[in-house]
Copies of this chain bind each other. A is one copy, B any other.
Amino acid sequence: MAERVSISAGKKRNLKLLADPEGRFRMMAIDQRGSLKRMLAKVMGIEPDDVKYEDLARVKKIITKVLSPYSSATLMDPVYGYPYSIDYIPKDVGVLLAFEETGYEKAGPNGRERRSRPIEGWSVEKAKKAGANAVKLLIYYRPEASDETLKHQQEFVKRVGEECERYDIPFLLELVSYPLLEDEIAASPDPEKPTTDTPVFARRKPEIVMKTAAEFSKPEY
């Protein structure tokens, strides 16, 4: 029998603001940072590190302005996105703010494990003050990682979840897998740039997803 989950009025109101009038979540994500920087660099014929803050902010602003009105809620990052794009979010469109720093810290015995970090100086309290209707956290996760990395990622999720509960704001957890084991690396076309786009990873993925979902479905989160 499913457990009844009670939900605060404030959180319920926020969930409503994220959904369309039919109650469906039609969210638009424009919180990409590292990947958008690499795309822009390619188009501009420069190195990713040479892409200027203003260019990234401007591209996000334009995309937000054009696409946000078609979404029930728009996911922004607080660094390049929110300051320049918030004025273009219509009043009937909800606001989600990303919590995690872009990318990851390399860790583990082979340096291929990924640990997430918060954006420096950012907090759930600040997201709430900025008018966010939800906080989104992207977490890299492989159940096969070392105990230290697993614990690091689990503690991070717990901490952000607790903060969200304190501020009555919905918490959206985005769990992302990545290539980690030797055979996954070896199967990648360029082992220097391992990818999940291989048969060996595809075969393993259902198990990864189920184990990851099982972990974060525990009541302590």
Contact = CB atoms under 8 A, between A and B. Distances in A.
Interface residues of A, number: 25
Nearest to A89: B13
Nearest to A94: B91
Contact of A129 (B16, B130, B168): B168
Interface of A: 8-10, 12-14, 16-17, 19, 21, 82-83, 86-87, 89, 91-92, 94-95, 128-131, 167-168
Given A128-B128, A131-B14, A168-B129, A9 B82 contact: yes
Contact of A91 (B10, B16, B82, B129): B16
B91 A9 contact: no
A52 B130 CA distance: 39
Contacts of A92: 91-92
Contacts of A87: 12
Contacts of A14: 131
